[in-house]
Amino acid sequence: MTDIKPKKHYEILDGLRGVAAIIVVAFHIFEAFTGGNRFKQIINHGYLAVDFFFLLSGFVVAYAYDDRWAKMTQWEFYKRRLIRLQPMVIMGMIIGAIFYYFQASDILFPMIAGMEAWKVILTMIIGFTLLPVPPSMEIRGWGEMHPLDGPAWSLFFEYIANILYALIFRKFSNKVLGIFVLLFAGMLINYTVFGPKGDVIGGWSLNLEQMNVGFTRLLYPFFAGILLSRLGKLIHIKGAFWVCSLLIAIVLMMPRIGDKNSLWMNGLYESFCIILIFPLIVSIGAGGEIKNPFSLKICKVLGDISYPIYITHYPLIYWYTAWVVDNKISLEDGYIVGIGVLVASIVLAYLCLKLYDEPVRNWLQSKFQKRKVVAAE
pLDDT digits (tens, 9 = 90+) for 325-377: 999 999 999 999 999 999 999 999 999 999 999 999 999 999 887 654 444 44
Least confident of 37-41, 313-317, 351-355: 37-41
**Considering the domain boundaries, does residue 374 fall inside one?**
no
**Rounded mean pLDDT of 181-208?**
97
Domain that holds residue 209: 11-368
- Which pLDDT belongs to residue 3? 53
- Which pLDDT belongs to residue 368? 85
Report whether 203 contacts 157 (CB < 8 A).
yes
pLDDT at 305 over 50: yes
pLDDT digits (tens, 9 = 90+) for 247-281: 999 999 999 999 999 999 999 999 999 999 999 99
**Rounded to whole angstroms, what are the CA distances from 310 to 28, 64, 145, 193?**
11, 22, 17, 28
> Is 109 buried (19+), middle (13-18) or exposed (0-12) by CB count in 10 A?
buried
**Considering the domain boundaries, does residue 377 fall inside one?**
no
Residue 19 banded pLDDT, cuts 50, 70, 90: very high
Query: How many independent structural domains does the chain possess?
Result: 1
pLDDT at 194 over 90: yes
Q: Residue 245 and residue 290: Cα distance in Å, rounded?
A: 14
Looking at beta carbons, which pairs linking 74-81 to residues 24 or more positions away fall under 8 Å? 74/166, 74/167, 76/369, 76/370, 76/371, 77/162, 77/166, 78/162, 78/163, 78/166, 79/368, 79/369, 80/369, 80/373, 80/375, 81/159, 81/162
Q: Residue 320 and residue 2: Cα distance in Å, rounded?
A: 51
Report whether 298 contacts 14 (CB < 8 A).
no
**Considering the domain boundaries, does residue 311 fall inside one?**
yes
pLDDT at 6 over 70: no
Average pLDDT, rounded, for the chain: 95
- Which pLDDT belongs to residue 2? 45
pLDDT at 1 over 70: no
**Considering the domain boundaries, does residue 335 fall inside one?**
yes
Give the number of other CB atoms < 10 A from CB of residue 328: 9
**Considering the domain boundaries, does residue 373 fall inside one?**
no
**Considering the domain boundaries, does residue 375 fall inside one?**
no
- Which pLDDT belongs to residue 291? 86
- Which pLDDT belongs to residue 197? 95
> Which residue would you say has higher pLDDT here, 295 or 355?
355
- Which pLDDT belongs to residue 9? 83
**Considering the domain boundaries, does residue 299 fall inside one?**
yes
**Considering the domain boundaries, does residue 2 fall inside one?**
no
pLDDT at 312 over 90: yes
Which residue type, as a one-letter code, is found at position 70?
Answer: A
- Which pLDDT belongs to residue 375? 45
